[in-house]
Amino acid sequence: MDVSQDHAFGVSVKNMSKHFGDFVALDAVDMHIPAGTFHALLGENGAGKSTLVKCMMGFYHKNVGSIHIDGAEQHITGPHDAHELGLGMVYQHFTLVPSMTVLENLVMNHPHIPPVINWDQERHKLEIFLGTVPFKVPLDKRTSELSAGEKQKTEILKQLYLNCRFLILDEPTSVLTPQEADEILGLIRDMANHNQLTVLMITHKFREVLAFADAVTILRRGKNVGTFSVRDLTAEEMGHMMIGAEPIRELGSRKKLTGGDIRLELRDLQINNDSGERAIKAVNLSLRGGEIVGIAGVSGNGQIELVEGLAGQRPIDGGEIFVHGTPYRGTRAEIRNHRVACLPEEPLKNACVASMSVAENLAFRHFDIWPFCQGEKWLKRSEFTRHAAERIKTYGIKTRSPAMRMSELSGGNIQRTVLARELGEPADVLITANPVFGLDFAAVADIHAQIMEARNHGTAVLLVSEDLDELLELSDRVIVISDGAFVHETSRQDADLSVIGQRMAGH
Amino acid sequence: MGDTDIGYWVVPLAVFAGAIRVSTPFLLVSLGECLTEKSGRINLGLEGTLMIGAMSAYGVSYLTGSPWLGVGIAAMAGMMMGFLHGIICSLPRVNDTAVGIALMLFGTGLAFYFGKPFIGPQAPALPSIEFGWWSDIGQIKSALSINVLFIFGLVMAFVISWGFKSTRWGMIIRVVGDSEDAARAMGFNPNFVRTVTTAAGGALAGMGGSFLSLFYPGVWHEGLSSGQGIVAVVLVIFARWNPLGCLYASLLFGGAGALGPALQSVGFSGGYHLLNVAPYFLTLVIMILTSSSKQRLSGAPGELSVNR
């Protein structure tokens, strides 16, 4: 059933359902994507977007339903069948081999690799192919040295080189600058316009849907809410359809605060990464109480090292950190005295012990002192439970009991638990990185409101994020980090998205 | 032909000959381990594989009179040990380091058990190739009498090095070793690839064992291997997972090991035992100088458990 074609084709999904045990991930979903169109798939986390495309690609076996290509029903039993039919998918996370060059990655992706590879011949074939597509990548660079935009182009090229004519993109722009995202989506849009490609893109960015897509299908709790032409829609309408009737917590108003004392100060701070290269290059920053300073940047420009350095998880290699004007090294005593709170990214990995209970995780900051600890020796379990029950109630953490393991909570509730621990008592400084990554609307609004509330109560907040919308919504000041240096600073009022994007890309 | 006096030239010649002789088992075992580690798995059981190889090669050579058959059986036995490691580690949540240590003890014990009857009798040894035919000097002739397994290892180092760059199999091994996600996305089965490379690595280590019992020292007893299988694993790290690096590292290690006896042969006997420690000391020094607490080893396969 080899259907190698050189033009795009349409794909329809009819009555598709998928159950995982009792849980209905997809409930009788219909979707039609005409040939040569750019189709967006919108929905919250857990709405069934990934399940739907994985059923289409044959990773999951659907319970009910059928897939039609140009009107003819096709049986896709595995990814191999999907590839043969010209369906290809670019995953949310890069699947490039870091130590290999672009050329090697592209050749190795082919299903029929000769036993002995003639690199000159392969290079020649690839150069001819690259002449037919708009994407340009350096063939001899190792993929670990590529920028995020180049990596994403290579991922797309991998699919096009396999003669894929129906391309599924799973949140393709989450690690790109706005400029990189626009460039790549624009090129794909052109290919669709020329009827070379049909595109299905999973996303949560309304801006990209409105700018590039022809039509959008919205999923909610496994059901198709509807397919709409993008021309007839606004971002607000899309948002409403995605979340349904669920109430959303309002972001508290920004209290006008001025002249707070300097809480956190970085002087020529330098931090190395795991490979011993300088990841943070002599940065300076003063953070006052009652302000949120946002650090914008494409991931991998030193943000992880900066947050780990400030949290005391990574040694600093030069310069100094001051909290309340005194040198700060992130020891337990300093954290307690200066009331420094931290909500790092992926909190289950970076700020919790996954196999311990919610109550124990909630007590990490004070478990070794009274009232958790009696006479500095014996832990008082009843106090753990009482304290946890109180926090669970105040912060709306959904857990069956305080004794539940941390790893059994959902992403939003893990985030709420860590916030409850870190902001449960007033904090002087809060350091947070991508605090709402992967959360649904209600949880995002909730956590944003809590960060704003902390700010309004005088906490100095350092917010490191890859999400510009989040930064512009919350921050009083935005600083752009690029290649380990602070390259741009702007107040909230004067922030210009296009300038920030350019600085993020290092221009 | 006569014993021309070549003075102190005897020392470098002896070091050269010793380097080749001592390095052969290191070379074969480290090449095998390199193959396995490139696919993202570490097999610490090669010490046991080495002993099984040595015992089975000696036994077969003694019983059949053919040392070559012994080498072949040693490779087969090594392959079986590697295969065992490979399939156990393919089970979910199995730790390759722990399995390796278990197989090291298992292999050594098995070799002692089956090897008891072969302690004592003399088995036919492997021949060597005389590259010194052009010379009249005895020392040169003996230094250039090079064993066949070394030449095999030499060729294999180049073949594996080329294979990693230019063959489908070599590329697949590197993909699997560097990124399991990428491998799955490309449709390769990491467990299958790793089981094959561990089996192949075991075969090379088994041959390394046959060298010990059939060439140098050329007997079978229970103290035959003094940790060569373990040292070879370290040599792979030292060689930065590069097969040609394994060759150089083995030669350096062998040369350092031959220094003591060579100096003794010209009457320099001070610190003999100290000189015997030279290769280990050298390894330690080089590892310390080339390692860093802040930096990951360059060239390490991304999926290797020691590296994650």
CA distances B232 to A55, A430, B40, B70, Å, are 47, 50, 17, 22
Residue from the list A98, A109, A272 with its beta carbon closest to the beta carbon of B302:
A98
The structural architecture, per CATH, of the domain A262-354+412-504 is 3-Layer(aba) Sandwich (3.40)
Token output for B301:
């396969």
Token pair for B280: 């280990």
B295 and A276 within 8 Å at the Cβ level: the answer is yes
Burial class, A115, CB count within 10 angstroms (exposed 0-12 / middle 13-18 / buried 19+): exposed
Is A97–B169 a contact, with Cβ atoms under 8 angstroms apart?
no
Identify the residue with better confidence: A167 or B145.
Answer: A167
Give, rounded to a whole angstrom, the gap between the first and last alpha carbons of chain A. 48
Instruction: Select from A95, A111, A114 the Cβ nearest to the Cβ of B182.
Output: A95
pLDDT at A323: 95
Q: Is B166 on the interface with A (CB under 8 A)?
A: yes
Is B172's CB within 8 Å of A108's CB?
Answer: yes
Helix (H, G, I), strand (E, B) or coil at A504: helix
Cis check: omega of the bond before A134, within 30 degrees of 0: no
pLDDT for position B2? 45
What was the pLDDT predicted at A1? Answer: 37
Nearest residue of chain B to residue A89 (CA atoms): B185
Q: Look at residue A3 in the predicted model and tell me its pLDDT.
A: 43
Do A97 and B179 make contact, defined as CB atoms within 8 angstroms? yes
- The number of domains in chain B is 1
Looking at residue B295, what is its pLDDT? Answer: 58
Chain B contact present for A109, CB below 8 A: yes
Average pLDDT over residues B253-259: 85
- CB contacts of B193 in chain A (<8 Å) are none
The reply to whether A375 touches chain B by the CB within 8 Å rule is no
Q: Of A98, A105, A115, which is closest to B168 when you measure between CB atoms?
A: A115
Q: Which residue has the tokens 């990464």?
A: A273
CB contact under 8 A, B168 and A274: no
Q: Does A112 touch chain B (CB under 8 A)?
A: no
How many other C-beta atoms are found inside a 10 Å radius of the C-beta of residue B5? 9
For B170, phi then psi, to 5°, come to -60, -45
Please list every residue in chain B whose beta carbon sits closer than 8 Å to the beta carbon of residue A111. 187
Domain that holds residue B36: 7-307
Residue in chain B nearest A106 by alpha carbon: B186
Asked if the Cβ–Cβ distance from B168 to A119 is below 8 Å, we say no
Q: Across the interface, do B168 and A117 touch by the CB < 8 Å criterion?
A: yes
Distances, alpha carbon B181 to alpha carbons B36, B177, B303, in Å: 19, 10, 10
Residue in B closest to A114 by C-alpha: B168
Work out whether strand A460-465 and strand A477-482 pair parallel, antiparallel, or are unpaired: unpaired
**Of A99, A100, A114, which has the smallest distance from its Cβ to B168's Cβ?**
A114
Position B1 scores a pLDDT of 41
| Cβ–Cβ gap B167/A111 under 8 Å | no
Across the range B174-190, mean pLDDT stands at 89
Three-state DSSP class for A468?
Answer: helix
Chain A contacts of B294, Cβ < 8 Å?
Answer: 272, 274, 276
CA distance A158 to A238: 32
- Whether residue B114 contacts residue B59, with contact meaning beta carbons closer than 8 Å, is answered with yes
* Nearest-neighbour CA in chain B from A274: distance (Å): 5
- Is the Cβ pair A96, B179 closer than 8 Å? yes
CATH domain A11-243 topology: Rossmann fold (3.40.50)
Q: Kindly determine whether residue B295 and residue A117, on different chains, have CB atoms separated by under 8 Å.
A: no
CB proximity B21 to A under 8 Å? no
For residue B277, being part of any structural domain is answered with yes
- How many whole angstroms separate alpha carbon B172 and alpha carbon B178? 10
**Cβ partners under 8 Å of residue B19, min gap 6:** B251, B252, B254, B255, B257, B258
Tell me whether residues A80 and B181 touch, CB distance under 8 A.
Answer: no
CB-based contacts of B304: which residues, under 8 Å, 6+ apart? B37, B40, B41, B42, B177
Chain B residue with minimum CA distance to A271 = B294
ipTM attached to this prediction = 0.86
pLDDT bracket for residue B189 (50, 70, 90): very high
- The secondary structure of A148-194 as a DSSP string is HHHHHHHHHHHHHHTT-SEEEEESTTTTS-HHHHHHHHHHHHHHHHT
Question: How far apart are the C-alpha atoms of B58 and B167, rounded to whole Å?
Answer: 35
Strands A278-288 and A262-272: antiparallel
Of the partner residues A80, A91, A93, the one whose CB lies closest to the CB of residue B187: A80
Which residues of chain A are under the pLDDT cut of 50? Answer: 1-4
Whether B196 is covered by a domain: the verdict is yes
Bond preceding residue B67 cis, omega within 30 of 0: no
Per-residue burial over B28-49, b if 16 or more Cβ lie within 10 Å, else e, is bbbbbbbbbbbbbbbbbbbbbb
Is residue A98 less than 8 Å (CB to CB) from chain B? yes
Residue B297: pLDDT band by 50, 70, 90 thresholds?
Answer: low
- Kindly give the pairing relationship between strand A378-379 and strand A373-374: antiparallel
Give a yes or no: residue B1 inside a domain: no
Cβ neighbours of A314 in B, within 8 Å: none
Q: The CATH number of the domain where B139 resides is what?
A: 1.10.3470
Q: A153 to chain B, minimum CA–CA distance in Å?
A: 16
Kindly state whether A93 is in contact with chain B, defined as any CB-CB distance less than 8 angstroms.
yes
Cβ pair B37, B236 in contact under 8 A: yes
Residues of A in contact with B298 (CB under 8 A): 275
- Using the Cβ of B290 and the Cβ atoms of chain A, whether some distance falls under 8 Å is answered with no
Chosen for mutation from A59, A94, A95, A162 (greatest number of chain B CBs closer than 10 Å) is A95
Query: How many CB atoms within 10 Å of residue A42?
Result: 25
Measured between its terminal Cα atoms, the distance across chain B in Å is 59
DSSP assigned state of A342:
E
The C-alpha of A116 sits at a distance from chain B's nearest C-alpha, in angstroms, of 4
| Partner-chain residue, chosen from B174, B178, B295, that has the shortest CB–CB distance to A275 | B295
Minimum distance, in Å, between the CA of residue B283 and any CA atom of chain A? 23
Helix (H) or strand (E) holding A74: strand A72-74
What pLDDT is stored for residue A425 in this prediction? 87
CA proximity to A205, closest of A58, A62, A43: A43
How would you classify residue A431: left for phi > 0, otherwise alpha for psi between -120 and 50, otherwise beta?
A: beta
Instruction: Return the bridge partners of A451, or none.
Output: none
In a domain, B252, yes or no: yes
Asked if B234 contacts B288 with a C-beta cutoff of 8 angstroms, the reply is: no
Q: Is B186 on the interface with A (CB under 8 A)?
A: yes
- For chain A, give every domain's residue range: 11-243, 262-354+412-504, 356-404
Nearest-CB residue to B296 (from A104, A113, A275): A275
How large is the greatest C-alpha to C-alpha distance in chain A, in angstroms? 77
- For residue A114, which residues of chain B lie inside 8 Å, CB to CB? 168
Of B166, B169, B298, the CB nearest to A119: B166
Mark yes or no for CB contact B178/A113 under 8 Å: no
| Radius of gyration (C-alpha) of chain A in whole angstroms | 25
Rounded to an integer, what distance in angstroms lies between the CA atom of residue A409 and that of residue A348? 10
Cβ distance A276 to B292 less than 8 Å, yes or no, reads yes
pLDDT digits (tens, 9 = 90+) for B21-36: 989 999 999 999 999 9
Residue B2 lies in a domain: no
DSSP output for chain B? -B----GGGHHHHHHHHHHHHHHHHHHHHHHHHHHHHHTT---TTHHHHHHHHHHHHHHHHHHHS-HHHHHHHHHHHHHHHHHHHHHHHHSTT--HHHHHHHHHHHHHHHHHHHHGGGSSSPPPPPPEEE--TT--BHHHHHHTEEEHHHHHHHHHHHHHHHHHHHBHHHHHHHHHHH-HHHHHHTT--HHHHHHHHHHHHHHHHHHHHHHHHHTSS-S--TT--SSHHHHHHHHHHHTTT-HHHHHHHHHHHHHHHHHHHHHHHTT--TTHHHHHTHHHHHHHHHHHHH--SSBPPTT--TT-GGG-
* Probe site for chain B from A95, A97, A161 (most B CB atoms < 10 A): A97
Q: How many CB pairs under 8 A join A and B?
A: 62
